[in-house]
Structure 1
Amino acid sequence: MATSCRCSRELSKLFTTIRSLRWNQLALCSERNIHTTAASSKNIRSGQPKISIRQDKPLTYEESQYPHFIGVTKTWNSWNTSTLHEEGRSSETAVEDIFIRKFMVGTWPQMLMSEVIIKRRQNLVVIAAIINQKIMARQMYFLKGYTEEMLSYILKCPIRLEIQTVKDKKDVIFKYI
């Protein structure tokens, strides 16, 4: 009889502590608290080129910038508004950008010195690139017209190419790592 009385007292104490804990948890949950901390562990290794042993790997200005500097010292490679809220065609725009880049690499073989920058302004698509001066000016103008006409026919919107030329790859090298 003494053990059952002691067990019932312990059970009643346990239930009262559980009830008090529940009330405390409910009181904590009913308050709206925001906890913010600074990002202490950024992933800064992804997207960075590896340093070579002899430090003879050339980098352009855009390649030498770290990924977390996008929007500060480095710009986006595609400028469009399809990723805004309630905007359509985001997947089509991404596929078209990939197609434009592959078309440029195939049309201008071994002449692209930098990445292809694509800017979309309303219906106009502006493509910017730095090209090597391997070919004569007449051939370069032909390739420019060919690229604009073919892409405008395929994408069904006006295309404008902004090309800058350099004589040598050394002209676009920013630093060696």
Structure 2
Amino acid sequence: MLHKALVTPVLCPKVAPALFLSRQFHISPVCNKVQAARYKITPKRDRPLTYEMANPPHFIAHRKGWNSLNVSSLEGGIRPAETVTEDIFIRKFMIGTFHSLVCSEVIIKRQHNHIRIAVILRQGITARKMYFLIGYTEELLSYWLQCPVTLEIQTIADRKEVIFKYI
């Protein structure tokens, strides 16, 4: 049998009020308003949005696709951190190479060791320069990433063609 002094703790009367006052539980009302990745409506409703931008995040895989298709983030996947870093590098390289020509999101698709990059570009330069930049981009990315890279490019005449709605 245990001794009664060991079971019940003895608190000094001077310490007990301070102990109880310091342990408080605060709650706040639930806020179900989701604001992440949503664009604010302008007073004149003159902000253009593409289809990707017009759909909120909870419509990913329903009405809009993923911007990066890979399986490295699944359990047992190899190189998840390197894949994300490479995707960021590819996007920045594409936007820098095709300066002021990129009209949509840069979509990266990985299949085995092959990377396909899909993008919509504006026809702002001559066809000769466009073909040079495509070859230049594919060659450099293939060398840096150590795997074959293919660009899937669609061109449009004007940037307004990708506008889905104004908010």
TM-score range, shorter chain: 0.7 to 0.9
How many residues are treated as equivalent by the alignment? 138
1:68 lines up with 2:58 in the alignment:
yes
Q: 1:114 aligns with which of 98, 104, 108?
A: 104
Cα distance in 2, alignment partners of residues 43 and 160 from structure 1: 41
Q: Give the 3 Å change call, closer, same or farther, for CA 93–42 of structure 1 in structure 2.
A: farther
Cα distance in 2, alignment partners of residues 71 and 122 from structure 1: 22
- TM-align CA RMSD: 1.2
1:89 lines up with 2:79 in the alignment:
yes
State the 1:172 CA deviation.
0.4
State the 1:42 CA deviation.
5.0
When normalised by structure 1's length, the TM-score is 0.76
When normalised by structure 2's length, the TM-score is 0.80
1:136 lines up with 2:126 in the alignment:
yes
Q: Would you say the 8 A contact 1:83–1:90 is kept in 2? A: yes
More helix per residue: 1
1:150 aligns with 140
1:99 lines up with 2:96 in the alignment:
no
Unaligned 5+ segments in structure 1 are 1-39
2:157 aligns with 167
* Residues 145-172 of structure 1: per-residue CA shift (max 9 Å, x gap): 0000000000000000000000111100
State the 1:114 CA deviation.
0.4
State the 1:72 CA deviation.
0.6
Partner AA of 1:76 in structure 2: W
Unaligned 5+ segments in structure 2 are 1-29
